[in-house]
Amino acid sequence: MAAARAGAAEKGLELFEHLADLTFPQRDKAKPYVLPVPCTNQLNGGVHAGNQLAPQEFMVLPTGATSFEEAMRIVTECYHSLKSVITEKFGLAGTGIGDEGGFAPPVDSIDQALDLLVEASAKAGHSNNVHFAIDPASSEFFKDGVYDLDFKSTDQLETHRCLSPDQMASLYNDLISKYPLILLEDPFAEDDWDSWTKFMEKINGRIEVVGDDLLCTQVSRVKMAKKASACDGLLLKINQCGTISEAIEAAQTAYSYGWSVFVSHRSGETIDDFIGDIVVGLQTGHIKSGAPCRGERLAKYNRLLQIERLLKERGHPVRYAGVDFRRAATW
């Protein structure tokens, strides 16, 4: 990261411009820069929250916006609306937040969580402007060949809702049909390769299937997943591979397969805003940096607002990724 910043300074460029040069050496510099869809974590569960909800992240994506600035307004209004909806149903005690700034109300089913997002987005006037995404972080509740949706419960194991991999796939398929889901991250455990492959065949490209624990931003794992047809998106976490050069190589490998790349923060974060530049430089089209809440989350979104305004002030063309964010690298 320090070397990348030094390289940008030496060339008199913004960091995102330098990263774009490194990633796309032959790119047309007159082309628009792409500002990403902010995939904002608005409900927390899993090991990142104290409720009984098994999946870790429920995200709201402002796909109907026309700029990043408008996108942040939409998700912020949805977030405040969600707080009101949760307060009405569960009282203020239900508005505590998880590690990434999403609310952690006392719900224990995926449908309950998504219904809250549906109601909140409707009350904010944004039903037609948003899609949803889920990161179940399924490795956290996969044990002995089953997915335990009550893994945080202290009740006897016999009472837990334990689903086979096929039942999990059917659950996801039902959710895709019922809700405006556009992305699933880690729907299955990192070593449950067969389930990933069968699920990809079943959904046939209807949504983006992203590997995080499955891939760990490692080129070798990306190649394995391609061979197994296990997913079609790479979650890019720059500290998983260790260097910016390796992160760029992982993204380039994913792009060579026709995959998408999804830039991510970490659950434990700082106010460093480097990934705001990398998502623009690598033209990934979408980023997750938590809720529109907490300084370490907002730092990345604020950097993207700065980049958008800087480019507009320069008169350089800018494009917001919108609903086709998966294809951003091809523009």
pLDDT at 156: 74
Identify the CATH number of the domain in which residue 117 sits: 3.20.20.120
DSSP string, 269-321: --S--HHHHHHHHTT-SEEE---S-SHHHHHHHHHHHHHHHHHHHHT--EEE-
Whether 100 is catalytic is yes
Is the full-model pTM beyond 0.85? yes
CA distance 94 to 310: 39
Q: Helices marked H in the chain — which ranges? A: 2-11, 15-23, 68-90, 110-123, 165-178, 193-203, 219-228, 238-241, 244-256, 274-281, 295-314
CB 219 within 8 A of CB 253: yes
Residue 331 lies in a domain: no
Q: Which of 57, 83, 140, 237 is catalytic?
A: 237
Residue 328 lies in a domain: no
Q: Which of 100, 269, 296, 308 is catalytic?
A: 100
Residue 308 lies in a domain: yes
Residue 101 lies in a domain: yes
Q: 92-115, pLDDT tens digit by residue?
A: 999 999 888 899 999 999 999 999
Give the number of domains in the chain.
Answer: 1
Q: How far is CA 1 from CA 5, 182, 244, 251, 280, in A?
A: 6, 31, 6, 16, 15
Residue 329 lies in a domain: no
Question: Which residue range is the domain that position 84 belongs to?
Answer: 2-323
Q: 47-85, pLDDT tens digit by residue?
A: 988 899 999 999 999 999 999 999 999 999 999 999 999
pLDDT at 295: 76
| Candidate from 32-36, 232-236, 237-241 with smallest mean pLDDT | 237-241
CB 146 within 8 A of CB 99: no
Continuous segment of H or E residues that includes residue 182: strand 181-185
Give the largest CA-CA distance in the chain: 63
pLDDT at 241: 85
Whether 227 is catalytic is no
Q: 303-315, pLDDT tens digit by residue?
A: 999 999 999 999 9
What confidence category does residue 297 fall into, taking pLDDT thresholds of 50, 70 and 90? Answer: confident
